[in-house]
Structure 1
Amino acid sequence: MNPKDNQSQTGCSCDCQQSRPTGIPPTTSISTTPPTLSPYLDCMPECPYHKPLGFESGSVRAEQITCSNLDQYVGWFSSWTPNKARLNSQGFGCAWLSKFQDTSQWLQVDLQEARVVSGILSQGRCDADEWTTKYSLQYRTHDNLNWIYYKDQNGNNRVFYGNTDRSSTVQNLLRPPIVARYLRLLPLGWHTRIAIRLELLLCMNKCI
């Protein structure tokens, strides 16, 4: 795996006063190799600015977020539905918890229209030591098309490395970004239980 694949420090966000990309604080990264360039110089040229899709703000509605085995979310699990997978969510029910702990599980978002997705921010469950340590991504532009795995530069299904604690935010940028309406996150590893809070980043070509 290329150590630059998991860099939070080189993410770009909107800095309209300076009219140039700037780093997104305060995310963490599991990369063992620190970036050698400044956040500005190392920004991904294909995507100068990133904008949150709206998990945290609530503009992504509950019905846009689904998961595997949704009909099994009854009783205690009804408080941990996919709608709870929102970055920085707090209190009881502060994450999506998978009822089953295996690699057949997934969390899906419908962006309502094809958008350019450029990254993912993730956290673990806020009130317990449960988090997703690694995952893969699938996407498609229409619901009658097959799912496509996001690939690495060697053509293998890319493995994204996620969280190592309950509260830190880990950012994974998509280089290159993808055009998708539907996106699935498929957990491949977890600590105690599959649990995640997240935000998607959209690629923007200017400050808005």
Structure 2
Amino acid sequence: MNLKVLICVTSICASATLADYGVEDAMAEMMQSMIDKSLQSFAKQFELCYMGMKSGLIPNNAVSASTYYNDWHAPHQSRLDNRISHISGGSWASKQNSIGTWIEIDFFTVKKVAGVITQGRPQKANQWVTKYKVACSTDRTTYQMVREGNSDKIYTGNFDFDTKVYNRFPTVLSCRYIRIYPHGWHNHISMRLEFVHGHCFNIKPF
């Protein structure tokens, strides 16, 4: 096999294969297995940074949206890693596709938020959000868009229905309410999501 490693010397990195260093295939496979297990363990540890969408700590009535397609695709169906079942369509889906559509989480108190993880609608539905904006509020009256320079920041979203995409905010936000405004989509506005706690701002999950 041709497992690649990254060799770094004084901040200069180069890619090489283990075979270049005389490592046998069995050793390479063992190292790959160790790397895979470490990555899986880290991914599980990073879930400790999740703010409660996936776990259900954030209740259904804390999740709202401007529109939704039907009860199977109601706002609370937007939980990260949700799947299609007899009680769920697997994701939130808007009733129509239009700029200005939003989904919102109420944390009930002001919380520190580092970023957001998104997925599309599961099981090969071929629906996902490709671009979005983020707004934060403490009172549900005044919202501040996350900015980049002199304009609202537009985040790159998903490229398929299931891969998780994490976008960290420029700084830790202090929000009670946080909204996602889709600004581009593939076939239909459909999302699953999770927010990352502010104390994990310097951790890169993927």
Correspondence for 1:41 = none
Ranges in structure 2 where 5+ consecutive residues have no aligned partner: 1-40, 201-206
Select which of 120, 133, 136 maps to 1:136. Answer: 133
Task: Pick 1 or 2: higher relative contact order, CA cutoff 8 A, min separation 6.
Answer: 1
Partner of 2:118: 122
Deviation at 1:175, TM superposition (A): 1.8
Q: Structure 1 segments of 4 or more deviating over 6 A? A: none
**Partner of 1:53: helix, strand, or coil?**
coil
Structure 1 length-normalised TM: 0.70
Alignment-derived partner of residue 82 in structure 1: 75
* DSSP-derived class of the 2:71 partner: helix
* Larger Rg over CA atoms: 2
- The count of residues paired between Structure 1 and Structure 2 equals 155
Could you tell me which amino acid in structure 2 is paired with residue 202 of structure 1?
Answer: H
Greater share of strand: 2
User: Which whole-Å CA distance do the structure 2 matches of 1:24 and 1:162 have between them?
Assistant: 23
Alpha-carbon shift at residue 155 of structure 1 (Å): 2.4
2:170 aligned partner, one-letter code: R
Task: Flag the structure with higher helix content.
Answer: 2
Opposite residue 85 of structure 1, the aligned amino acid is: S
Using structure 2 for the length normalisation, give the TM-score.
Answer: 0.71
- AA at the equivalent of 1:182: Y
Cα deviation for residue 109 of structure 1 reads 0.6
Alignment of 1:149 onto 2:142: no
Match of 1:189 in 2: 184
Give the alignment partner of residue 198 of structure 2, picking from 190, 203, 206.
203
Structure 1 residue 24: deviation in Å? 5.8
Q: Which runs of 5+ in 1 are unaligned?
A: 1-22, 27-49
SS at structure 2 position matched to 1:204? helix
Task: Say which of 172, 180, 188 aligns to 2:175.
Answer: 180
- Distance, in Å, in 2 between the alignment partners of 1:52 and 1:181 is 16
Q: State how far apart, in whole Å, the 2-side matches of 1:116 and 1:156 are.
A: 23
Q: How far apart are 1:25 and its partner, in Å? A: 4.0
